Amino acid sequence: MHAAIEKFYKYKIHRCANMEYSALRRIVIDLLKDEWLEQKESLVALKLKQDEIALYFNESCQMILNFLHDFLKEGGFEKPTPVIEKTLFSKKYMLLGKIDAIHRNKAVPLLVDFKTSKSMEMIDDYKRQLAIYALLYKDRFGEAPLTGIHFLKFKEGLKQYRISEQFLNHTKHLVLDIHKKTQSEDQADYPCVCGWCDNNFDTATQ
């Protein structure tokens, strides 16, 4: 899905303002099909049934069409091209992140992460991820951005989330604390405490 959206911009489909919707619809689905075929070996390795694969493909088609719907609704043809799949690295925080889309056509830049989640719930993991992206962006460009998740399973699925200064500072301390606790290269220094492994090891290996 990410690769198909990236090629939507790379091949400048977002500049074909005079193209009919039926043609645009066919193009974005073809982009998805191409990526699907490129991942054929990985799909086969999952050992899914054909009807399961068909279900996931149909869901993916709907998601790429939802993306197109939102693009058109937001007047994407008239807007500047977003930066797609931008990798940012911070030496200060020893962090690296790949941001799906950066929209700079706003008074404040908007960082967007694409999700294929079944709900639009802004769970804590997503909030931390967006805070890390905001931290990377601020460290690189010197300004605090807006952030959001684009839930592709839903039309009008873009949901913005404001990163407060307090949460940003909390994320900084969290990152520094993790670095302090992960200095050793000895695996024995990082025992699993999730509880799942001990309870499920026997059944998971049968």
CATH code, 127: 3.90.320.10
Is residue 129 located within the same domain as residue 158? Answer: yes
pLDDT at 195: 63
Higher pLDDT, 186 or 162: 162
Query: What is the pairing mode between strands 83-90 and 110-115?
Result: unpaired
Report pLDDT digits (tens) over 117-171.
Answer: 999 999 999 999 999 999 999 999 999 999 999 999 999 999 999 999 999 999 9
Is residue 70 located within the same domain as residue 96? Answer: no
Is residue 171 located within the same domain as residue 139? Answer: yes
Beta carbons of 113 and 149 less than 8 angstroms apart = yes
Is residue 73 located within the same domain as residue 88? Answer: no
Distant-in-sequence, close-in-space partners of 165: CB < 8 Å, separation ≥ 6:
144
Residue range(s) defining the domain that contains residue 25? 2-78
Looking at the domain assignment, is residue 125 inside a domain?
yes
Higher pLDDT, 1 or 107: 1
Q: How far apart are CA 71 and CA 25, in angstroms?
A: 12
Is residue 110 located within the same domain as residue 165? Answer: yes
For the chain, the average pLDDT equals 90
Looking at the domain assignment, is residue 162 inside a domain?
yes
Is residue 152 located within the same domain as residue 173? Answer: yes
What total number of domains does the chain contain? 2
DSSP string, 103-123: E-SSSS-EEEEEE--SS----
Looking at the domain assignment, is residue 120 inside a domain?
yes
Looking at the domain assignment, is residue 204 inside a domain?
no
Is residue 107 located within the same domain as residue 179? Answer: yes
Looking at the domain assignment, is residue 189 inside a domain?
no
Q: How many CB atoms neighbour CB 180 within 10 A?
A: 8
